Structure 1
């Protein structure tokens, strides 16, 4: 899988890109909910929300490909007979439904927010979250175009790492390797095991599945 910071490209894209088994998403990190308002000062994010409010396809791609994560604090009694302790955690939600309404764009808010372990399970195991390669590339293309860049050039410039686990066999013990990818196409090849099918036009709206998750414990 890949989970890597985007460095200087976070202005056009987001803080992190995550990918595994042909599914991909962007994650924007905030210290807490009070920091959501800082997105209003970003002209590119205002332009993105305006575009998604007018374009259903852009909204669908954003719902499946773009998330916001923030720090949370709860108080729990961790051991019997002790005072409740302050426990730090991370929650996630759809970026368009969480941020765009703060800017005055009437996009549907996510019905549920997820704890980080729920998000991880839905993304990595049950594969209910994330965009496929076709949808993810179209969404990144939109972000680069809104930033005034040449999308085809910018997509080739994305860099980061994937983490490759090799199970043990008769010739070697289990191994974990960090492999550098250069360009979105290379990321697709490394995380899918094959080149993406350019004839593929099907885009399942995995963002709708996110709405059916939730903070239920």
Structure 2
């Protein structure tokens, strides 16, 4: 079997793209040919597939490597895809792949914060239909066929973000208030004496004299009244 690796092209590190690519027999991702009905569709800059047909539009595909005819001679590996055609009978296929928050679990961080699942709706849908060309003046049975395929993707998603915010007492100057779990304790406090390496232990320094504010409380007279009016 041909060893095939699927991953992100190294080119994504300098292009900012994250196209899925193939490494076949240890060759470079840019050395592959992606043929659709025999026509080269490879992206000449990034080496990825230029056309990605819907799964319902594919009749068959093959991966050729190392030994193949001269018509495929420019690449080390060939991914050849054949698109479906119509038949003498009318055939229709419709699909819908649905995801939403009613089917999905909540995220770890939203659970920990006690938040509900964020809004999420994803629809991947499409159709494939084909048959003979029939007109008042022409019957294409056994001769001429048509085929149509469409695939759509819609996603509406909200993101849950968690953060630590200062408590009202902290916004009033008492930075040691820990009612919201955001307190900054002076190094002389009992908590910091028992846990000197705690991330919550730090003296708040007065920039005018280089000394710590007593108890990490900034006097109200030192707070900007304009900023105070903007706080919730």
Q: What TM-score do you get using the length of structure 1 for normalisation?
A: 0.21
Higher-helix-fraction structure: 1
Higher-strand-fraction structure: 2
Specify which structure has the bigger relative contact order, considering alpha-carbon pairs within 8 angstroms and separated by 6 or more residues.
1
The structure that has the greater radius of gyration is 2
Q: What TM-score do you get using the length of structure 2 for normalisation?
A: 0.20
